[in-house]
Each structure stands twice: as structure tokens, then as C-alpha cells.
Amino acid sequence: MRCARCEFENIPGQTRCIRCGSILEGGAAVIEIYPPRMPAWKKPGRDALRWLRGSRLRPEKPVMPCLRRGFRTAVSDSLAGLLLSIVPGLGHALVGRFREVRLWVLLWAIALGLGLFLYGSPIGFPLIGLALGLHAWIAVQYGLFQEIQGLPARVGALIVIVLLLAVLYWTVPGLVPPGLSGGYTALTIPARNIHPGDYFVTRRLPHGGEPLARGALVLFQPRTHRFANRRLVVGQTHGMIGQVVGLPGEKIRIAYHTYAVSAAHDLSGPGAPKTGAGTERLLDPNQFPVPRWLQIRPPSTGLYIPADSYFVSSQYTINAHGNVGAIDGMIADACIIPRTDLRGRAFLQWWPLSRRRLLE
């Protein structure tokens, strides 16, 4: 192959001249002198942008990169990062640092998901607590530990953030699915395969809604009743699930460890004399079991349920002696609950997992 510069005859296949080192034409790359053309469908948009620039309607420098730089600068502040860390990893992702916390975010998502799935079980609450701790750790990893030096200060900051996030975890569920709550039951209802310790999800009762049916499971706040040296207490102070047994306007008593109900016409209040009572009927003890404490200390006379109130069967512990009438009054105050004091109606049996189902 002849060199165009020194006309030396090189061996075929050489890319450079052996004598002068020039690049041989045979090995030179072919240069395309015609650049690729813009597709026809993009040309109207290009012409419009050129017209906007010519009319001074479009800035010479792009706006979005400037906004991104300003946003990244603002997010780089530790306080702003903490606020964005309400969503774990959001602050890191906005400044391109998500790789630093991706493992923590994955562990947080797993712990929170399992905690919600097993909510109401002995392991559900520890998992949610673990998710809370991981959330706080992700938040402080953003930049707070770079500004706060010393172990006591860092531990104090972490505790404060955990407390703030705990408040957030407590309030958010009530805001996202409004009206939802839950509670445990201490009742055993054989006909419905319900046992003590089962957890139910409830929906808030609307004001002025339809009356509750007999057998409905409702959430209410148990109260401790004190009458001089007599006391009626419950084993738990948070919301618990009870069963509606008596309806407004009925008279209810306990006969042979079974609920007996009858209609009453006078609704002047609990303990007042009634006239014109209807036919009494016994309820199925498998569907409406009488709690143990009421079997031991049944009311001596029938209890009358006023309008817009319900007799709710629940598990209490009674410590009383002396006047039987006082005990009857304690039972009436504990079990006859106004509709306005009922916090919700159960629609889903959530725990245990083997009996998770929608209620009829």
C-alpha cells in the first residue's frame, strides 16, 4: 500500500507508513459529512421555541436545573431533611443519597408491613416498635449526627425523634382510614367461634344511624364503678369489645345462667317500676353467653334499658358485699351503655390469623 506522503510501498494491511509514520488511506476511518436530521414531527416544536426566545418570552437559561439546585440546597439543611424524613428515605432520595439508607428503608418496610399484618398479636406491637426505631434511625442519619457531637447529645436527639415519630404513628392511622379502631374481647361466644383475646377492627358508629341489632359486637370504653366500699373493675382500661344483648325498651334478667328479655313500655329509667311488660323469651346461651361474673352475681331483679341505650355483655370483675340493690345498680351502670358512648361496631375479626374474617 503506497504512502500518499512519501510514496513508500508498505506491506498490505499496514495502517501507518513504515518510513514516515503517516496514516495510510486504506486504514482511515470514513467520516460522515451529513449529520442526522431532526424528525419532521419535532420541527414545529423547535420553531416555536425559537420564536419564544426571539420574543424574549423564554429564558435563555433553563429554569428547572436552577430550581433543582435551589431545592437540593434547601433539602441539604438538617431540619428540612428531618421534615422530609417523615417518609423514610425521601430526603436522601431528593439529594441523590438514597443508596446510603436503602437497606434501612427496606428493613423498615418489612417490619411495618409484618407489624400491620400481625396487628393485635403478641408479636405485632414489637414489630411496629422496631419499625418506629428504624424510622428514627433513618431520620437522624440524614445529617443530624454530623452536627451533633457527643454520645449523650446524640442519644437525646434520637429519643426526641422517636417520641415525635411515635405521636405520628399514633395519629396517622386515624387520619388515613378515618373512623377505624380496634379492641380485644374477653368473651367466649361458641356459636361464632369467638374466644377471649381475639382482636376486632371496628368502624365508627354514625350519629343518628340505624339501631344496632342484637348480637352486634361493639367497642366501648370500660369504666371502674365505685360505690362506697364496693367496686366493679375491669382487667383493662383501653377499649374492649362487648356484645349487644338487650335493646332499647327491653327488660333483661338472668335466669339459669341464660339471658331472658322481654319488652317494656315504660322507659323512665333504670330501676324505675315498669308496667305492661311483654312476653319473656330466653336467648340461646351459645349465641349470647352470660359472662362468668354475671353468673356469680346476677341482678336480683330485671334491669330496664332506657331509650337509645343498650345492654352490652362484657367481662368485669366485681368486688362488693352488703346491699344487693347497690350491686344491681353497679351492674346497670356498667352494662347499660348509651349509644353515644359506643365507639364503634366490629366488622372484621383480625386476630388470630387462622380465624381472620369479615363479620356478618
pLDDT of residue 302: 87
Query: What percentage of the chain carries pLDDT values higher than 70?
Result: 76
pLDDT of residue 174: 73
The one-letter amino acid code at 227 reads: F
pLDDT of residue 160: 87
Q: Please give the Cα distance from 91 to 143 (Å, whole number).
A: 10
**Omega before 338 cis (within 30°)?**
no
pLDDT of residue 135: 93
Q: Please give the Cα distance from 97 to 143 (Å, whole number).
A: 11
Reported as a single tens digit per residue, the pLDDT across 241-255 is 999 999 999 999 998
287: left (phi over 0), alpha (psi -120 to 50) or beta: alpha
Q: Which long-range contacts (CB under 8 A, 24 or more apart) does 108-112 make?
A: 108/134, 108/135, 108/138
DSSP annotation of 35 reads P
pLDDT of residue 334: 83
Which of 83-97, 270-284, 331-345 is least confident? 270-284
Q: Please give the Cα distance from 360 to 348 (Å, whole number).
A: 9
| HEC assignment per residue over 89-121 | CHHHHHCCCHHHHHHHHHHHHHHHHHHHHCCCC
Range among 155-169, 186-200, 266-280, 317-331 with highest mean pLDDT value = 186-200
User: What mean pLDDT is predicted for residues 99-113?
Assistant: 93
pLDDT of residue 27: 47
How would residue 105 be classed by pLDDT, with cut points 50, 70 and 90? Answer: very high
Distances (CA, A) of 163 to 89, 158, 167, 169, 221: 19, 9, 6, 10, 26
| Domain residue ranges in the chain | 1-32, 41-75, 78-175, 182-358
Q: Please give the Cα distance from 354 to 117 (Å, whole number).
A: 13
How would residue 330 be classed by pLDDT, with cut points 50, 70 and 90? Answer: confident
Distances (CA, A) of 105 to 101, 117, 135, 242: 6, 18, 8, 39
pLDDT of residue 120: 86
How would residue 316 be classed by pLDDT, with cut points 50, 70 and 90? Answer: confident
Q: Please give the Cα distance from 280 to 122 (Å, whole number).
A: 43
User: What mean pLDDT is predicted for residues 59-75?
Assistant: 50
How would residue 34 be classed by pLDDT, with cut points 50, 70 and 90? Answer: low
Reply yes or no on whether the pLDDT at 315 is more than 80: yes
Reply yes or no on whether the pLDDT at 236 is more than 60: no
Which DSSP string corresponds to 138-154? HHHTTTHHHH--SHHHH
Reply yes or no on whether the pLDDT at 90 is more than 70: yes
Q: Please give the Cα distance from 259 to 312 (Å, whole number).
A: 12
Reply yes or no on whether the pLDDT at 262 is more than 70: yes
pLDDT of residue 328: 79
pLDDT of residue 225: 57
Strand residue runs (E) in 216-299 = 217-220, 225-227, 230-233, 240-246, 250-255, 258-263, 281-282
Inter-axis angle of helices 98-117 and 124-140, nearest 10: 160
Task: Identify whether the C-beta of residue 136 lies closer than 8 Å to the C-beta of residue 163.
Answer: no
Q: Copy the grid coordinates of residue 102.
A: 436503602
Reported as a single tens digit per residue, the pLDDT across 146-195 is 677 778 888 888 888 899 999 989 888 777 778 888 999 999 999 999 99
| Summary mean pLDDT of the chain | 80
Reply yes or no on whether the pLDDT at 30 is more than 60: no
Q: Please give the Cα distance from 63 to 60 (Å, whole number).
A: 9
How would residue 273 be classed by pLDDT, with cut points 50, 70 and 90? Answer: very low
Q: What is the CA radius of gyration of the chain?
A: 38
Q: Please give the Cα distance from 87 to 139 (Å, whole number).
A: 9
Q: Please give the Cα distance from 76 to 161 (Å, whole number).
A: 18
Q: Copy the grid coordinates of residue 337.
A: 351503655
Reply yes or no on whether the pLDDT at 231 is more than 60: no
Q: Copy the grid coordinates of residue 299.
A: 341482678
Q: Please give the Cα distance from 185 to 202 (Å, whole number).
A: 12
pLDDT of residue 276: 45
Reply yes or no on whether the pLDDT at 7 is more than 70: yes
| Predicted TM-score of the model (pTM) | 0.67
pLDDT of residue 170: 86
Angle, CA 121 vertex, CA 118 and CA 127 arms, to 5°: 60
Pairing of strands 281-282, 303-304: unpaired
Q: Please give the Cα distance from 193 to 304 (Å, whole number).
A: 29
Range among 132-136, 219-223, 236-240 with highest mean pLDDT value = 132-136
